[in-house]
């Protein structure tokens, strides 16, 4: 591919493909304009703007007070508001989200004033890199805050307004900031230490991770493999999941409009598999119990997806939380009793077969451990189902 024709990928572009290839096609190939914006995205953008403005003010030699900061937030919230902001969770109000953003900012302000850690090299700073020497696999991203904290020591800071706190395991295989690290190391060759820092604002928590040169090399290869898969995809099949409720293309998606015959990962109900983890989790929330299942499950899901990509293995989760692997990974389907639409549902029992058939013995112990933990959790929850 000539260098000039190569599309530029980003972490969010890759994630979109993973969660739904059809959404990817609508957004990045057909470039269908999006008029709707989820309130979660709206809130996230406003909080990012305010934190960027805060550091700009500090760079100018001043420090805004907390009331000034919040005033800036309210002003931006009103200024940018539009009628296409969509609230999916109908039991929540605009004020709920606005107050959530305010709490994120208060917690960050109190924990980080006077905001003088290191030398800020960039805010919302665009970085680019190529994963190969020929410039065929280009990556770009925007670093919320890039900081030099000493000679050759850099930190990549990212603000998250998510209501879910990932596990350290998920953070350690997160793709986004590791791709940014590749770009930072290319731009600043003196970088001998790059810290990856996530600010989970709603929790007042800072999560940190480091990547070894080997891990970065693995990331390059798995990302190139994924880009190859995307560029070879001729079908861009939709995947129905809970994320559909936030999809701005739902009104044109065949899964939600004409119910045409498209490939989906089947639901457990259709297969007679009984109670799902999603259902249990919802039930716990309805009972006012802490959603511990969801937190553990989601952390493992995130980690497995990242690890699967790293290992060049295609895995997906059904909307009911089941783990599926592409049947194309199996040399023989003779012993698989549950192959649906080209996917095989994984269970603890099927792991030995999986290991033999796709030679998972060559995959990392780290990845296998994540699979086993996820499946063990699933099995345990099925066992303790109460209805
Ligand atoms: S509505 Fe769901 S299945 Fe359809 S394009 Fe969007 S994410 Fe994909």
Q: Is 101 part of any domain?
A: yes
Residues 101 and 143 in one domain: no
Alpha-carbon distance 110 to 334, whole Å?
60
> Which residue shows structure tokens 């030099």?
148
Residues 273 and 376 in one domain: yes
Instruction: Please give the distance, rounded to the nearest whole angstrom, from the Cα atom of residue 23 to the centre of ligand 1.
Output: 6
Q: What is the CATH number of the domain that holds 126?
A: 3.40.1350
Q: What is the pLDDT along the chain (387 residues), one digit of tens a residue?
A: 444 567 899 999 999 998 899 999 999 999 998 888 999 999 999 999 999 999 999 999 999 999 999 999 999 999 999 999 999 888 899 999 999 999 999 999 999 999 998 999 999 999 999 999 999 999 999 999 999 999 999 999 999 999 888 888 888 888 999 999 999 999 999 999 999 999 999 999 999 999 999 999 999 998 999 999 999 999 999 988 878 888 999 989 999 886 544 344 443 333 333 223 333 333 333 333 334 445 566 667 777 887 777 777 778 777 566 788 877 766 665 555 566 777 777 776 667 667 766 666 677 767 777 787 777 666 544 333 322
Q: Is 279 part of any domain?
A: yes
Instruction: Please give the distance, rounded to the nearest whole angstrom, from the Cα atom of residue 22 to the centre of ligand 1.
Output: 6
Preceding omega of 286 cis (within 30 degrees of 0)? no
Q: Is 250 part of any domain?
A: no
> Is residue 3 within a helix (H) or strand (E), and if so which, with residue range?
none
Q: Is 164 part of any domain?
A: yes
Q: Which of 97, 112, 127 is the last residue of a domain?
A: 112
pTM: 0.70
Q: Which of 112, 130, 153 is the last residue of a domain?
A: 112
Residues 97 and 125 in one domain: no
Q: Is 12 part of any domain?
A: no
Alpha-carbon distance 33 to 27, whole Å?
8
Residues 151 and 196 in one domain: yes
Residues 304 and 361 in one domain: yes
Q: Which of 77, 112, 147 is the last residue of a domain?
A: 112
Instruction: Please give the distance, rounded to the nearest whole angstrom, from the Cα atom of residue 31 to the centre of ligand 1.
Output: 15
Instruction: Please give the distance, rounded to the nearest whole angstrom, from the Cα atom of residue 237 to the centre of ligand 1.
Output: 9
Q: Is 163 part of any domain?
A: yes
Mutate to test the pocket of ligand 1, among 15, 243, 246, 250 (most ligand atoms within 8 A of CB): 250
Nearest CA to ligand 1 atom 7: 244
Residues 136 and 172 in one domain: yes
User: For residues 98 and 189, is the Cβ–Cβ distance under 8 A?
Assistant: no
Instruction: Please give the distance, rounded to the nearest whole angstrom, from the Cα atom of residue 19 to the centre of ligand 1.
Output: 9
H helix runs in 124-265, sequence order: 168-172, 176-187, 213-232
Alpha carbon of 44 to those of 69, 89, 161, 231, 265: distances in Å?
A: 15, 16, 6, 30, 31
Instruction: Please give the distance, rounded to the nearest whole angstrom, from the Cα atom of residue 256 to the centre of ligand 1.
Output: 8
Residues 206 and 135 in one domain: yes
Residues 270 and 378 in one domain: yes
Residues 274 and 172 in one domain: no
Enumerate residues lining ligand 1, CB below 6 A.
Answer: 20, 22-23, 238-240, 243-244, 247, 249-250, 253, 255-256
Mutate to test the pocket of ligand 1, among 12, 18, 22, 254 (most ligand atoms within 8 A of CB): 22
Split into its structural domains, the chain has a count of: 3
Closest approach atom of ligand 1 to CA 22 = 5
Q: Is 252 part of any domain?
A: no
Closest approach atom of ligand 1 to CA 239 = 3
* Full residue range of the structural domain in which residue 172 is found: 117-230
Residues 282 and 208 in one domain: no
Mutate to test the pocket of ligand 1, among 26, 240, 251, 258 (most ligand atoms within 8 A of CB): 240
Q: Is 244 part of any domain?
A: no
Q: How many residues does the chain have?
A: 387
The confidence score (pLDDT) of residue 386 equals: 25
Instruction: Please give the distance, rounded to the nearest whole angstrom, from the Cα atom of residue 180 to the centre of ligand 1.
Output: 28
User: For residues 63 and 115, is the Cβ–Cβ distance under 8 A?
Assistant: yes
Residues 43 and 135 in one domain: no
CA dihedral 90, 93, 96, 101 (to 10 degrees): 90
Residues 78 and 150 in one domain: no
Closest approach atom of ligand 1 to CA 244 = 2
């Amino acid at each position: 591919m000539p260098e000039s024709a190569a599309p530029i990928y980003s972490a969010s572009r890759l994630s979109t493909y993973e969660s739904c290839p059809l959404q990817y096609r609508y957004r990045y190939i057909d470039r269908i304009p999006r008029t709707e914006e989820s309130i979660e995205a709206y809130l996230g953008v406003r909080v990012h703007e305010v934190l960027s403005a805060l550091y700009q003010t500090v760079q100018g030699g001043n420090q805004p007070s907390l009331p000034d900061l919040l005033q800036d937030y309210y002003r931006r919230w009103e200024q940018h508001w539009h009628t296409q902001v969509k609230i999916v969770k109908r039991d929540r109000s605009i004020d709920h989200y606005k107050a959530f953003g305010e709490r994120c900012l208060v917690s960050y302000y109190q924990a980080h004033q006077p905001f003088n850690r290191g030398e800020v090299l960039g805010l919302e700073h665009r970085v680019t890199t190529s994963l190969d020497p020929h410039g065929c696999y280009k990556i770009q991203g925007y670093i919320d805050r890039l900081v030099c904290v000493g000679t050759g020591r850099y930190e990549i800071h990212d603000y998250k307004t998510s209501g879910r706190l990932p596990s350290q395991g998920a953070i350690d295989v997160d793709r986004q900031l590791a791709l940014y690290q590749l770009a930072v190391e290319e731009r600043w060759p003196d970088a001998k230490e790059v810290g990856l820092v996530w600010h989970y604002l709603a929790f007042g928590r800072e999560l940190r991770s480091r990547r070894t040169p080997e891990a970065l090399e693995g990331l390059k290869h798995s990302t190139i493999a994924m880009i190859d898969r995307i560029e070879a995809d001729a079908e861009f099949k939709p995947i129905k999941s809970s994320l559909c409720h936030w999809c701005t293309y739902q009104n044109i998606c065949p899964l939600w409009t004409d119910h045409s015959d498209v490939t989906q990962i089947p639901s457990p109900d259709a297969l007679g598999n009984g109670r799902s983890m999603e259902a249990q989790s919802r039930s716990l929330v309805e009972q006012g119990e802490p959603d511990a299942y969801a937190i553990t499950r989601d952390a493992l899901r995130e980690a497995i997806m990242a690890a699967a990509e790293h290992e060049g293995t295609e895995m997906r989760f059904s909307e009911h939380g089941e783990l599926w692997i592409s049947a194309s990974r199996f040399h023989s389907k003779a012993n698989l009793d549950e192959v649906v639409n080209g996917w095989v549902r994984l269970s603890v029992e099927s792991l030995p077969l999986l290991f033999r058939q796709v030679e998972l013995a060559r995959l990392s112990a780290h990845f296998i451990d994540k699979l086993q933990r996820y499946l063990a959790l699933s099995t345990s929850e099925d066992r303790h189902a109460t209805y």
